[in-house]
């Protein structure tokens, strides 16, 4: 029996702990991540203040620091300037000591100044949340000890304190850029861990998020579930939130005989879906060409490696992998064509000084060359491309 105000069976303490930590997860994903860092939704002042207070009590994190570090992560993803990329510093360091990487970056004044704009700067922030970030967790320790008893309270408090550092700073920032499946072939190494975003509030769907960072909804496929989105929609129904943007769903119509500005806009809008489909075509071409490639290399190739070299972005390949890919392309005209045309397709939505008219001409030329390439996968892909609708 505990000496606290509430006496629970052993499993009751587990349920309470999971419930409390889930509120913290919801606060991080809804308030810090989707609302503050990416402005994917607007929040009424009441839930916003609740989330800020809860995070102060259970994490000691400062909103400006969290938003700034996360924005920098997106801006510099998988580069030496990324605050926590397992591709750069290694998976073990991010997974097990990700919180220390966060603390280190939080001390970088340049990061806070450059990326921390637009975060709360009201009386609560100046006099409580930012002024005394550790006071909240001390209050939580005292409250937990009084309510549940000293030892149960300390254990519950301890789990609350390590929950975000491990799951968010470690698992999401680490495994979410190292292991899992990908719906979209975005430029970084982000992955979806599992299709059911419950334990970490929907953050498990990390590849979806990196592909559409300003979407308030993180699920993209029918089999994916984002519990954070359920909470956001509930707040919206109650008039306490307003969703600003979600992942666009591709629309298709009758294939146009010639690309026009509407098709160009649709291709750019749905560029991640376009590139994902193109990468799938590359995988099929790799399968078709594999026997010839294997003979060319003296039988030292495997299909998994060839698919990876062809479908990954160049930045995701090591120096040795890039060299081996170059060797394969050297004597295979079909692969040279599809790799070069992938780069040209990407250029349609890359930042450039090209006018809309020039981009449209590039798209028209691309489609004509794809359909005249004699490569079945390119021809099929081009037909799909001509069906994208604005």
pLDDT tens digits, one per residue of 346-375: 888 886 788 999 999 999 999 999 999 999
CA-CA distance, 35 to 70, in Å (whole number)? 12
Looking at the chain, how many residues does it have?
390
Work out the average pLDDT over 1-8.
81
Distance of CA 96 to the CA centre of its chain: 20
| 86-90, 127-131, 274-278: the lowest-pLDDT one | 274-278
pLDDT confidence tier of residue 328, bands split at 50, 70 and 90 = confident
Q: Which residues contact 361 (CB under 8 A, 6 or more apart)?
A: none
Query: What is the residue whose two structure tokens read 């899992």?
Result: 180
Is residue 1 scored above 60 in pLDDT?
A: no
- Structure pTM? 0.85
Give, in order, the Cα–Cα distances in Å from 327 to each of 178, 306, 308, 336: 27, 12, 15, 11
CA-CA distance, 368 to 379, in Å (whole number)? 9
Q: What rounded mean pLDDT belongs to the chain?
A: 92
Q: Tell me which residue of 208, 212, 213, 215 sits closest to 193, measured CA to CA.
A: 208
Give, in order, the Cα–Cα distances in Å from 238 to each of 23, 102, 169, 242, 246: 18, 35, 31, 10, 19
Is residue 101 scored above 60 in pLDDT?
A: yes
Task: Locate 300 and state its tokens.
Answer: 């030292």
Residue 41, strand partner residues: 243
pLDDT at 325: 82
Task: Locate 21 and state its tokens.
Answer: 């930590």
Give the residue with greater pLDDT, 70 vs 344: 70
6 φ/ψ angles, rounded to the nearest 5 degrees:
-120, 130
Secondary structure (3-state) at 8: coil
Q: Please give the DSSP secondary-structure letter assigned to residue 315.
A: G
Give, in order, the Cα–Cα distances in Å from 348 to each of 53, 172, 338, 365: 45, 31, 16, 12
Beta strands in 177-269 (DSSP E): 196-197, 225-226, 241-243, 251-252
């Amino acid at each position: 029996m505990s000496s606290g105000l509430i006496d629970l069976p052993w499993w009751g303490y587990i349920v309470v702990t999971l419930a409390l930590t889930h509120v913290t997860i919801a606060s991080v994903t809804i308030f810090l991540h989707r609302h503050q860092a990416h402005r994917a939704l607007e929040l009424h002042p009441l839930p916003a203040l609740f989330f800020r207070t809860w995070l102060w009590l259970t994490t000691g994190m400062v909103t400006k620091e969290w938003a700034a570090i996360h924005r920098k992560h997106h801006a510099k993803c998988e580069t030496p300037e990324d605050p926590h990329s397992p591709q750069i510093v290694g998976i073990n360091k991010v997974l097990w000591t990700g919180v220390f990487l966060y603390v280190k970056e939080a001390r970088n004044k340049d990061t806070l100044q450059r990326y921390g704009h637009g975060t709360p700067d009201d009386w609560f922030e100046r006099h409580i949340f930012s002024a005394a970030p550790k006071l909240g967790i001390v209050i939580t320790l005292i409250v937990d000890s009084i309510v549940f008893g000293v030892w149960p309270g300390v254990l519950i408090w301890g789990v609350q304190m390590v929950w975000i550092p491990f799951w968010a700073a470690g698992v999401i920032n680490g495994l979410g850029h190292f292991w899992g499946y990908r719906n979209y072939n975005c430029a970084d190494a982000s992955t979806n861990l599992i299709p059911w975003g419950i334990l970490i509030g929907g953050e498990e769907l990390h590849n979806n998020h990196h592909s559409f960072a300003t979407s308030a909804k993180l699920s993209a496929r029918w089999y994916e579930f984002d519990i954070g989105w359920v909470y956001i929609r509930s707040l919206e129904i109650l008039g306490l939130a307003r969703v600003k943007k979600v992942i666009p769903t591709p629309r298709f119509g009758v294939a146009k005989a010639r690309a026009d500005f509407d098709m160009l806009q649709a291709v750019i809008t749905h560029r991640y879906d376009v590139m994902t489909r193109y990468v799938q075509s590359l995988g099929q071409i790799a399968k078709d060409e594999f026997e010839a490639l294997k003979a060319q290399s003296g039988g030292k190739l495997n299909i998994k490696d060839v698919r990876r070299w062809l479908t990954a972005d160049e930045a995701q390949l090591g120096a040795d992998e890039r060299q081996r890919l170059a060797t394969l392309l050297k004597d295979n005209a079909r692969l040279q064509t599809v790799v070069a045309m992938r780069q040209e397709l990407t250029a349609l939505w890359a930042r450039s000084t090209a006018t809309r008219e020039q981009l449209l001409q590039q798209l028209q030329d691309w489609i004509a060359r794809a359909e005249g390439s004699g490569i079945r996968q390119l021809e099929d892909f081009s037909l799909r491309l001509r069906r994208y609708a604005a």
